[in-house]
Structure formats: structure tokens, C-alpha cells
Amino acid sequence: MGQFVDKKLMVFGSTPDFADNSRALWEYVTKNTDYDTFWVIQDRKMLEALREKGVACGLEGEETTELMIDRARFLITSSFQFADRKRPDQIHVAAWHGFPLKLIGFFDSAAADSDDFRLLKTITTQTDLITAPSRLSQLTLSGMFAVDPRKVKETGYPRNDMMFWSDGKEELKKLTDIDVEMDKLIFYLPTMRKGLKDEGEQFENNIFNYPDYDADQIDQFLEANHAYIFAKVHFADNEFFKGENVKLPKRMIFLDTDILNKNFLTIYHVMNGFDALITDYSSVYVDFLLLDKPIIFSCPDLAKYQADRGFIVDDPKLLMPGPVVGTQDKLFEILGDILAGRDGFREVRKEKMAFFHRYQDADSSRRLLEEMEKADECGIADSGKDIGYSFMDVLSPLHQYVDKTRAEFFFDTGDGFCEESKTVVEYKAREGGQPVAFVLDIPDSCRAVRFDPDDDGRYGLRNLIVLLDGAPAEYEIIHGFKAEEDIFFNEKDPQIVIALGDKAYCKVRIEYESIDLHSEAGKIIWQMYRKAAAAGRETAKAVKRLSEISTSRSWKLTRPLRDAGQAVKKIRTKR
């Protein structure tokens, strides 16, 4: 029996905790529907604060939390969290976290490992809905994640709803003592720099990375213009910009994730309280565009960032509805115009709006919920999930790629069978009785060798031969059994374990014929049925013969002699 699914339960998650599109959709759902909700939280301090507020939540990895994930009909995250464990009777929503100006997914130069791509394809296929604010975003996301564009929905981002109904200045009063009503407020929101990837300049000694950076001059400029800059860096960069080696202007108010979490706020609760935005390559500018306020793109490392990471267009400035600056002096010039009321990019923002937003309202959460309920009722078209049948169909040319298999070899040199001692060999299972053979060197002090022919036991092994330095060796079958000369596996993670004892060996050779259960299972079952039927016929013959003997005249006449013989045996046994 499968896991019970509660059709009225939604489980939410985000990175960082309690934020982004997941947070905004949760606020809408709790205020406007009768769905039950539950948050998966990673930080214990945040967990305790949310529980004090009466928010149903649990710590990631705890038994109760895992149970809620398994029970939920809807799994909603700001990325692809939970996608690896989502079942067909659950709906996974990647509410996402921004318009893709930078290359991501299969186009991301920072994720070039084949294992990363395999994992990415798995989780993006598992996902059922991905949000997008516009047609350009829909096409870009579906292309970079290689997913069916029909499951990328132009709902708009729920987090932008908060910019329409939240009073940003009132919320800012919870975070600062300055007079937010009288002073000009500028929001600085750069993309991730130090946290995860080496791309662009790394902001080693100043928060703007300008060659002419001078924190004192910034203070003089801001004071003269009755202005403050609120800086909120990427959550992965928080600690770096708090360090002593980074000098911040006194009129720059640093907002980090902890300060916002303490007040149960996100940047979208305060966004409309600002008069202008400074950013670089962060997608936040697309959201701020809805406020129709000036945007400055601070990009002193534009050429290097483009070479390291790349953008969805050859010239990213085509998608930047604001001036691009690379020095502090130029920033002062542009900011001076804006603070004086001169906005030279108002028409440019209006022209580019259609690239970024299909809707300019506070209804994105409602539209996303409608898409979720539609998927719940009618299902959702997804060629990514359906393509699996093409690989399994032996008549399809795609079937030939399924035969590409990964065998794994582990060598226990004292620490057990661990990933550090693993060797992976890709091979193609051969048909027509042609043997597959592997020859590997055995490391010094090796106690045992483990051979995993594939991931899930798809292949059986016929006529398995294991040689240690050319001599036949014994082996143990894990998660499987032997039937005559064939070995079959009945669980995932199939293993052949070869104990070496105290003797040192140089090479191991493993040779066998592959039995592809996808295409050969019917033949194997038929052969076993024929053998079982033949054995049944022989048994029936033997039973009939015994019956004939037991009813014959000679059997009855000799019964006294047999009884006497049994009595003698009992007497001898007692002695």
C-alpha cells in the first residue's frame, strides 16, 4: 500500500528559510484558503521563532518533518528542494527565485560535471510546475532546464504581490532608527559574490568593487543629499561583508538575513519603501521594475562576469533598463540626477516591461494556486516524464542508449567500501552471449573487492568468472541469488563481494555474460516455467508409481515382514 496523501496539505520550503516566492504563496494560502500548511526549516533558531508565532513547521531531517513531506499533496519550494523524493501522486512546485539574466541550468559554465547534469535532469523532470513572470522567462527557463515549456507557467512571481500590498516604509521602521519618511532611501542588492562560485571580481576590499572606492566620500555624498543606502547582499555572502577588511560607509545600513528573519520580513516587504535600486546582475531588478522607480546597474566587472558565467543575451545591457556604471564617480553622477528628480530611463523601463512581466498586479499568488489546483484535478502535460517509455521500448532507437551502464568497483583497504575507494567504469552490455570483462589493479593492503554491475539490478550475470591473479576465486552475492549458472538481483544496489583474506593480489578479472531483464525477462520466466512444469510432471509420475506400488498384491503380502523389520530397528535403537 502506498503512502497516504492528504490532498489538503501543502509543505513549503525555501532557501533561506521562510522567504521568497514560497513565503508569499504561503501568506496568500493561509489568508484565503482552507489548506493546511507546514514549513520545512533548516535553522533551529528560525524554527523556534516560527513556532512561537504559531506557524506549523519542523526541522529538516526530523522524523515528523519527513512524514509531512511524504503526506503532502503539494510540495512548494523556491528551487528544486524535495524534487528527488517526490512521488507521482504529489505535485512539486518550483516557485523559483528570479528572472534568468545569468546563465543557469544546463548552460551554466559553473556546473559542468556530468553527475551534476544527471542530477539536474532528474530533479527538473520530477518538478511539475515552474513559475515565470513573462513569455521570455518561460522560454528561457524551459530551455536552460531542458524541460517541457508547458509546465513553466506565466503566473508572475508571488513575492512581487507583497510589493503591492506591503507598506515598505512602515516595515523599515522595524529595522532602523533613521527617519525613513524624510530621507531618500536607496536599496543596494548585488548578486552572490563570495558564497559559492568564482565568477566575476570577488569584491575583496569593498562592497561595490570600484577601483576608486572611498567609503568616506560616499558618506559625504549621501549626507549632502539627505540619503541612506540599505545594503542586502546574497545570503551566502553575509559573513564576508561583516569582516574587518571591508570598510562600509556610515550611512550604509547593512541588512542581513538574520535581521530580516528576526522581524519575519523579506526584502519584498520593504521594497516599495525605496526611491531607487542599485544592483549588478541580480534578477531582483526585474521585480523592482514593477514599482517604476530608477534602477542603476553597478557593473565594474561586466566583461569578466560575462566571460566567467555568461548571460542569456550576448549584450546584457540590452536587458538592463537603467544606466550601467563602473566607478564610484559615475555612480555619484547618476545618483545625483535621480535624487534631484531627473529620471532619464522612465521610457526605457516602459518599453522593456513586456520582456519581463506579463502581469503588473498583485495576483501572482492567486494565479499560481489556480495552476496548482488545475494540475491536481487534470494532471499536467510533461514530455520529460513520458520520454522514459521511449527508452524502454525495444522498437525505439532510444532503447540503445539504455544499455550504457555504470559498473562500480570498491576496494576495502581498511576503511570499508567507501566512495573514496571507488572506481567507475562505463560499459555497454553486450548481446548474443558475448562476455563482458573487467580487469583492474588491486591496491596494496586491500582486504576485499566489491563489484556493483549497475545501480538497480537490471542486469543478471550468466557464467560469472572471478579471477585473482589468474586463479578462480570465491565470491558472495549481495541482494541476489544464483539459479544454475545465472545470478539475479532482487533489490537495488546489487553487489558481488570478493574476500581476499590475508593474501596480497595484484589484479582482479571479472567476466560474465549480461542478461538484460528489460528485454530477456519474458524468456527467463518462460524457461523457468518450462523447468518447473517438467519437474512437476516427473513428480506426478513418481507419485503415481508409489500409488501403484502401495495398492499392489505383493506390497500387501509383504507388509508383515516390513512391520517386523521396523520393530527390530526400534529395539536396537533403545539398546
Q: Which residues contact 556 (CB under 8 A, 6 or more apart)?
A: none
Using CB atoms within 10 Å of the CB of residue 366, give its burial: 0 to 12 exposed, 13 to 18 middle, 19+ buried: middle
**Residue 232 has which C-alpha cell?**
542586502
Distance CA 401, CA 372 (A): 34
Q: Which helix (H) or strand (E) holds 180?
A: none
Q: What is the pLDDT of residue 308?
A: 85
Report yes or no: 68 and 108 within 8 Å, Cβ to Cβ: no
Highest mean pLDDT among 97-106, 200-209, 337-346: 337-346
List beta partners, residue 45: none
Instruction: Please give the average per-residue pLDDT across 436-443, as a whole number.
Output: 93
**Confidence (pLDDT) at 518:** 66
Q: Rounded to an integer, what distance in angstroms lies between the CA atom of residue 324 and that of residue 205?
A: 21
Contacts of 247 by beta carbon, 8 Å cutoff, 6+ apart = 206, 215
Please give the helix or strand (H or E) that residue 459 lies within, else none: strand 459-468
C-alpha cell at 336: 545625483
Helix (H, G, I), strand (E, B) or coil at 237: helix
The DSSP 8-state label assigned to residue 554 in this structure reads H
**Nearest one of 62, 71, 84 to 3, comparing CA atoms:** 71
Distance CA 216, CA 43 (A): 36
Which uninterrupted H or E stretch holds 400? helix 399-402
User: For residues 150 and 115, is the Cβ–Cβ distance under 8 A?
Assistant: no
Of the given ranges (33-37, 325-329, 361-365, 426-430), which has the lowest mean pLDDT? 426-430
Instruction: Go through 179-197 and write b for each residue having 16 or more CB atoms within 10 A of its CB, e for each that does not.
Output: ebeeebbbbbbbbbbbeee
3-state SS assignment for residue 534: helix
Cell of 267: 526584502
- What's the CA gap between 174 and 260, in Å, rounded? 10
pLDDT digits (tens, 9 = 90+) for 134-182: 999 999 999 999 999 999 999 999 999 999 999 999 999 999 999 999 9
pLDDT interval class at 1 (50, 70, 90)? very low
Residues in CB range of 548: below 8 A, 6 or more apart: none
Whole-Å CA distances, 454 to 427, 437, 475, 528: 10, 14, 17, 24
Q: What is the pLDDT of residues 404-419, one digit of tens each?
A: 788 999 999 988 998 8
Cα distance between residue 390 and residue 371, in whole Å: 28
Bridge partners, 92 (sequence order): 75
Burial 20-52 (b: 16+ CB within 10 A, else e): bbbbbbbbbbeeeeebbbbbbbbbeebbebbee
Question: 6-13 and 36-41 as β-strands: parallel, antiparallel, unpaired?
Answer: parallel
> Are 235 and 43 within 8 A, CB to CB?
no
The alpha helices in 235-322, defined as continuous H runs, are 257-262, 267-270, 284-288, 302-308
Distance CA(193)–CA(72), nearest Å, equals: 36
pLDDT digits (tens, 9 = 90+) for 500-553: 988 999 999 999 998 877 666 666 666 767 777 888 888 888 877 777 777 777
pLDDT at 556 over 70: no
Give pLDDT tens digits for 55-87.
Answer: 999 999 999 999 999 999 999 999 999 999 999
Alpha helices (H) along 135-266: 135-144, 158-165, 168-172, 215-224, 257-262
The grid coordinates of residue 37 equal 500548511
Task: Please give the grid coordinates belonging to residue 269.
Answer: 516587504
Are the C-beta atoms of residues 22 and 13 closer than 8 Å to each other? yes
Q: Which residue has the higher pLDDT, 140 or 233?
A: 140
Burial 442-460 (b: 16+ CB within 10 A, else e): beeebebbbbbbbeebbbb
Cβ-contact 446, 463 below 8 angstroms: no
Closest CA to 94 of 12, 33, 36: 12
CA distance linking residue 248 with residue 225, whole number of Å: 18
- Angstrom distance (rounded) from CA 273 to CA 254: 16
Q: How many beta carbons lie within 10 A of that of residue 173, not counting itself?
A: 16
Report DSSP letters for 467-478, one per residue: EETTEE---EEE
Measured in whole angstroms, the distance separating CA 448 from the mean position of its chain's CA atoms is 34
pLDDT of residue 112: 57
pLDDT of residue 282: 92
- Is-cis flag, bond preceding 16, omega within 30? yes
CA R_g for the chain:
34
> Cell numbers at residue 500, please?
581476499
Q: pLDDT tens digit string along 481-495? A: 998 889 998 888 899
Average of pLDDT values for 256-260? 89
All cell numbers assigned to 525:
520466466
**Residue 514 grid cell:** 549480461
Contact of 312 with 134, CB cutoff 8 Å: no
**pLDDT above 70 as % of the chain:** 89
